Copies of this chain bind each other. A is one copy, B any other.
Amino acid sequence: MEHKILLRETDIPRQWYNLAADLPTPMLPPLGPDGKPVTPDMLAPVFPMNLIEQEVSTERWIDIPEEILNILYRWRPAPLRRAVYLEKYLKTPARIYYKDESTSPPGSHKPNTAVAQAWYNREFGIKRLTTETGAGQWGSALSFACALLGLECKVFMVRISFDQKPFRKHMMAVWGANCVASPSTETNAGRKVLEEIPDTPGSLGIAISEAIEQAVTDSSGQTRYSLGSVLNHVLLHQTIIGLEAKKQLEMAGEKQPDIVIGCAGGGSNFAGLAFPFTADKINGADIQIIPVEPAACPTLTRAPVHYDFGDTACTTPLMAMHTLGHAFIPPPIHAGGLRYHGMAPLICQCVVEGLFEPRSYHQTTCYDSALTWAKTEGAICAPETSHAVAAAIDEAIKAREEGNDKVILFNYSGHVLMDLTGYDDYLSGKLSDYDLPEEELQKFTKDLENLPPAEQRKSGRW
């Protein structure tokens, strides 16, 4: 048995998988400020039309351009690994596989869509991209993609991460990008927040507002905005993860996974691995699919489904999703990439349909699992990824207790090498856990009453 299951480049998937084609019920459309569905034209100042077409597509398979593959070959196909050392440590009969997305130069799965988005923007004649970043994984990924494709890149980085993770901005600078702390004084959205809360840790919602504002106010028309998660086309680009993993599981002699796990902030790494298996589940396969989120930002596990803005300044179209309210600023947990008030609408719809079983963990539980991982498998995972590791360990222990040789597959979404302060805090006993108090949840979701409700589709929360 090999520890790594490696695909040849000639076996890389040549099409992305679009889950929208197979959903039991169609998606609720994004709405404009007037409550009416937005049209592609309305999104044109923000995104290039070729990506807007992907955003609204219901084609099941979408070809990956050869030039994009030629960039992805720098690190793809990514290895599927079997966590034999962890299995042995846990004395579990389960077979634990993980898709190693930490091997990209920026260290996470994010370049899968960053490269695609930069390429489509360049094809459309765009010269400059703006974006936001939480922990810095996405900002680094877009900087990397822009460097390879010759685009300018501007990154608004959530203040708390900007301060906690200084190496990330150096990394973006190596790839030629310009990164500033958000809220910044460069935009109206940023200045407004700074005026109200000068010492704010910032949030992804605020940073998104800033990046969109700077894109749409560029009078040259050559700037667009790029989002690292949440949207349909972003999740689409990530499905290469799950499509590779399916081939690799087959090479390893596994018919299908019993359990598929990914951490979920905006949802892109989770969806990237899970959606190809979700298709199998829709077609009757018995697969448990688990998005894992922080207890401090419990979007799927505790928030209602409602139409809400994707950003704090209410700039984006309204999307039907689980949301803690666009004004919610998550506590400064180390898993910066999971600090988002909403969640990808495609994922929310699957939760409503009963296809996924979301769960949440405290950060100390996650760091504890990450240490077990480091001392068995050897590598040190990102704090976001540690949420998936924690769930995989729990499932492997359950399999042992039940005497069940389940196949567990999870997404190892990134390493942590630019972000080791969280481990230091944990080892020094400085980390605390946080459960969102019910009254806080009520407070932030109360604003949703003024927005259109998401239509009742099922007996669930929808």
Using a CB–CB cutoff of 8 Å, the interface residues on chain A facing chain B are 2-4, 6, 8-10, 73-75, 85, 103, 105, 107, 144, 147-148, 167, 170-171, 173-176, 371, 374-380, 415, 417-418, 420-421, 423-424, 427
Contacts and interface: CB of A to CB of B under 8 A. Distances in A.
A375 B175 CA distance: 6
A418 B416 CA distance: 9
B424 A173 contact: yes
B73 A148 contact: no
Nearest to A167: B420
Contact of A8 (B2, B75, B176): B2
B3 A6 contact: no
A171 B3 contact: no
A427 to B, nearest CB: 5
Contacts of A420: 167, 170-171, 174, 418
10 contacts: A105-B374, A147-B375, A167-B420, A170-B420, A171-B417, A173-B424, A174-B380, A174-B423, A175-B375, A417-B418
A375 B9 contact: no
A427 B177 CA distance: 12
Given A4-B73, A167-B167, 10 more contacts: A74-B378, A105-B374, A107-B417, A148-B375, A170-B423, A173-B427, A174-B380, A175-B375, A415-B417, A417-B418
Contact of A6 (B6, B74, B170, B415): B6
Given A74-B85, A417-B418, A374 B4 contact: no
A415 B3 CA distance: 23
Contacts of A171: 380, 417, 420, 423
A427 B418 CA distance: 18
Nearest to A148: B378
A375 B6 CA distance: 26
A211 to B, nearest CB: 23
Contacts of A85: 74, 148
Contacts of A147: 374-375, 378
Contacts of A377: 74
Contacts of A3: 9, 73-74
A103 B103 contact: yes
Shortest Cβ-Cβ A-B pairs, 9 listed: A417-B417, A170-B420, A105-B379, A105-B378, A167-B420, A170-B424, A3-B73, A74-B378, A2-B9
B174 A144 contact: no
B174 A427 contact: yes
A374 B170 contact: no
A173 B374 CA distance: 11
A105 B380 CA distance: 7
A371 B103 CA distance: 19
B144 A378 contact: yes
A374 B377 CA distance: 28
Given A4-B9, A423-B170, A374 B418 contact: no
A427 B170 CA distance: 9
A357 B336 CA distance: 48
A175 B376 CA distance: 10
Given A103-B103, A167-B417, A417-B417, A174 B374 contact: yes
A5 to B, nearest CB: 10
Contacts of A173: 423-424, 427
